[in-house]
């Protein structure tokens, strides 16, 4: 098993919230709780699928996170 994180950034002077999470399974739900329903959600992507990272930790024996959560 692995654990995910969620982070929310806000500034008291504005009502703008930014959020990010390592959870592919719950990223859309986190976004909807904070910002309401929207079509502007960005799907969670693994770092090794986006950048050439040699020492990335593979979860689930290297299986795709979306597949592992199904």
Q: Each residue of 17-47: pLDDT tens digit?
A: 888 888 878 888 888 888 888 777 777 777 7
Angle at 31 between CA 23 and CA 49, to 5 degrees: 40
What's the confidence (pLDDT) of residue 56?
Answer: 67
CB count in 10 Å sphere of residue 68: 14
pTM of the model: 0.52
What's the confidence (pLDDT) of residue 69?
Answer: 47
Nearest residue to 32 (alpha-carbon basis) of 45, 19, 23: 19
């Amino acid at each position: 098993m692995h654990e995910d994180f969620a982070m929310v950034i806000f500034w008291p002077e504005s009502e703008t919230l930014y959020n990010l999470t390592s959870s592919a399974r719950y990223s859309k739900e986190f976004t909807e709780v904070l910002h309401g329903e929207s079509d502007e959600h960005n799907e969670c992507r693994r770092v090794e699928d986006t950048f050439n990272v040699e020492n990335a930790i593979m979860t689930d024996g290297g299986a795709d996170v979306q597949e592992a959560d199904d």
